[in-house]
Amino acid sequence: MKLILCAVLFGAVATEASDPPKSPICGHCNCTNGEKNSFDVYCSGKSGEQDLFSEKNWKSAKNEAYNYNYTSLSFQNGWLPNLTQTFPSLSLISLDLSYNHINSIGKNVFINLTNMRTLILSHNDLENIDPDAFKATDKEGKPVGLNNLKELRLDYNKIHTLDPNMTEYVIEIEILSLANNPLHLSDTDTVLAISKLSNLKELYLQYTNIKTLPDNILHTLMHLQVLDLSGNPIAEMPKTLSQGKNLTRLFMNNTGFVNLTEETGFPLLPKLKELHLCRNQHLQRLEKHSLSGLIQLATLKLSDNIDLVSIDPMAIAKSMNHTVFRQ
Ligand SMILES: *[C@@H]1O[C@H](CO)[C@@H](O)[C@H](O)[C@H]1NC(C)=O
Ligand SMILES: *[C@@H]1O[C@H](CO)[C@@H](O)[C@H](O)[C@H]1NC(C)=O
Ligand SMILES: *[C@@H]1O[C@H](CO)[C@@H](O)[C@H](O)[C@H]1NC(C)=O
Ligand SMILES: *[C@@H]1O[C@H](CO)[C@@H](O)[C@H](O)[C@H]1NC(C)=O
Ligand SMILES: *[C@@H]1O[C@H](CO)[C@@H](O)[C@H](O)[C@H]1NC(C)=O
Ligand SMILES: *[C@@H]1O[C@H](CO)[C@@H](O)[C@H](O)[C@H]1NC(C)=O
Ligand SMILES: *[C@@H]1O[C@H](CO)[C@@H](O)[C@H](O)[C@H]1NC(C)=O
Ligand SMILES: *[C@@H]1O[C@H](CO)[C@@H](O)[C@H](O)[C@H]1NC(C)=O
Ligand SMILES: CC(=O)N[C@H]1CO[C@H](CO)[C@@H](O)[C@@H]1O
């Protein structure tokens, strides 16, 4: 008798675990069921408004109490020009809202997504980001930031300036992409906004039309490991590069260098392991010691430099100048 009861109970539990009640969002979008009954939601070409912001859509109609573990949402190719509605409280770790024609983000949109580590807003129409866009509030109602956010991707928008009051709320991020935006990096607010992000490990600035980096920015971003400056009209080595003591990977494809010498070449970058210097249409000569500061270099990519006529045999050889400063 006991044995039968156990079998019946076990059966019921097993069905519930493998087949949770379906939520409306998984009817409109594609949900994949991952580990520990977590869900990854993928949606393309939906209007957005009705689907995303109603809490009911994320619950089971049959069993309101059923607690879904939504780990990621990718909502693309929709129409969300004014992103002003607040997402319901979801356990999302990753949110991808690329290709949605977003041109403004209102206050408190992400306030309930307190677990979010990755936010992708690529390929939208953002020009300005509201200073309070990433503001959240704690249990007492005090303003705090998205304190779990580690990765923010804003590439392929129309951003020219950043507001320091905006980055204040994403202060913990380690990865920031601003690639393919018409950035004004000479604007002091924008520099201040980026400088505040002192935990940054990866910064993507390719195709932002910048001519150099602001002085001392790598002194502030002292943990930076990966920097992409490709596709910018940079003709002189940015002065602050010598402060990139923790840089391990540097990308400078398609820039404006012509002749790099010991004086105009790379500074001492003691941890740099990988350098990409490809597709530099104007690059002609890599002179003696132009790369000697890269004392740990393991990978050097130099492809498709159509004007490169001379690489000095001592271009990368050890230079006393660089060993003297080595600690
Ligand atoms: C949700 O799912 C993720 C991925 O499987 C897992 O790491 C996390 O612990 C789950 N959260 C809860 C509350 O079950
Ligand atoms: C769901 O996936 C199918 C097959 O990949 C795709 O054709 C469909 O557009 C997806 N639906 C949504 C709403 O993204
Ligand atoms: C978005 O908001 C602006 C003003 O904040 C308004 O002028 C515009 O019409 C709105 N666009 C849409 C599509 O709702
Ligand atoms: C940031 O906020 C402070 C206080 O609200 C304000 O005085 C300042 O002008 C703001 N900064 C910018 C760049 O908007
Ligand atoms: C960056 O370099 C400084 C000194 O050069 C060091 O103290 C610090 O721990 C480094 N940070 C990381 C993340 O490696
Ligand atoms: C240039 O740099 C990028 C990193 O942004 C790298 O992935 C790419 O392979 C490099 N090379 C060329 C030829 O573009
Ligand atoms: C680069 O070096 C070549 C050979 O020394 C020289 O003719 C040319 O003027 C230099 N170009 C620049 C921009 O320094
Ligand atoms: C050190 O650098 C200076 C100028 O940058 C140069 O004149 C000198 O020859 C270099 N010394 C060595 C040993 O490379
Ligand atoms: C579902 C949920 O938790 N919604 C909350 C989102 O954040 C706002 C502002 O703090 C709350 O009012 C909602 O209750």
User: What pLDDT is stored for residue 38 in this prediction?
Assistant: 87
SS3 readout for the chain: CHHHHHHHHHHHHHHHHHCCCCCHHHHHCEEEECHHHEEEEEEECCCCHHHHCCHHHHCCCCCCCCCCEEEEEEEECCCCCEECCCCCCCCCCEEECCCCCCCEECCCCCCCCCCCCEEECCCCCCCCCCCCCCCEECCCCCEECCCCCCEEECCCCCCCCCCHHHHHHHCCCCEEECCCCCCCCCCHHHHHHHHCCCCCCEEECCCCCCCCCCCCHHHHCCCCCEEECCCCCCCCCCHHHHHCCCCCEEECCCCCCCEECCCCCCCCCCCCCEEECCCCCCCCEECCCCCCCCCCCCEEECCCCCCCCEECCCCCCCCHHHHHCCC
Residue 60: give its domain's CATH number: 3.80.10.10
- Clarify whether residues 128 and 254 are in a common domain: no
- Domain extent for 322: 232-327
Q: Which atom of ligand 7 is nearest to the CA of 284?
A: 1
Q: Is the CB of 137 under 6 A from ligand 9?
A: yes
Q: What is the mean pLDDT of residues 271-293?
A: 96
- Clarify whether residues 72 and 119 are in a common domain: yes
- Clarify whether residues 60 and 203 are in a common domain: yes
How many angstroms separate the alpha carbon of residue 166 from the centre of ligand 4? 10
- Clarify whether residues 200 and 61 are in a common domain: yes
Q: Is the pLDDT of residue 9 over 70?
A: no
Q: Considering 158, 178, 210, which residue would you say is the last residue of a domain?
A: 210
pLDDT tens digits, 234-249: 999 999 999 999 999 9
Q: Is the CB of 115 under 6 A from ligand 1?
A: no
Q: Is the pLDDT of residue 176 over 50?
A: yes
- Clarify whether residues 59 and 95 are in a common domain: yes
Nearest alpha carbon, ligand 6 atom 9: 276
Nearest alpha carbon, ligand 9 atom 2: 89
How many angstroms separate the alpha carbon of residue 215 from the centre of ligand 4? 23
Q: What is the pTM of this model?
A: 0.89
Q: Considering 177, 210, 243, which residue would you say is the last residue of a domain?
A: 210
* Total of domains in the chain: 2
Q: Considering 175, 210, 245, which residue would you say is the last residue of a domain?
A: 210
Asked if the structure places residue 72 within a domain, the reply is yes
Pick the range with the lowest mean pLDDT from 98-107, 111-120, 136-145, 246-255. 136-145
pLDDT tens digits, 55-107: 888 887 777 777 788 999 999 999 999 999 999 999 999 999 999 999 999 98
Asked if the structure places residue 13 within a domain, the reply is no
Q: Which atom of ligand 4 is nearest to the CA of 192?
A: 13
Asked if the structure places residue 222 within a domain, the reply is no
Asked if the structure places residue 3 within a domain, the reply is no
- Clarify whether residues 43 and 174 are in a common domain: yes
Q: Is the pLDDT of residue 16 over 90?
A: no
Q: What is the mean pLDDT of residues 207-235?
A: 96
Pick the range with the lowest mean pLDDT from 14-18, 72-76, 151-155, 207-211. 14-18
How many angstroms separate the alpha carbon of residue 82 from the centre of ligand 3? 6
From the CA of 174, which ligand is nearest? Answer: 5
Asked if the structure places residue 7 within a domain, the reply is no
Asked if the structure places residue 16 within a domain, the reply is no
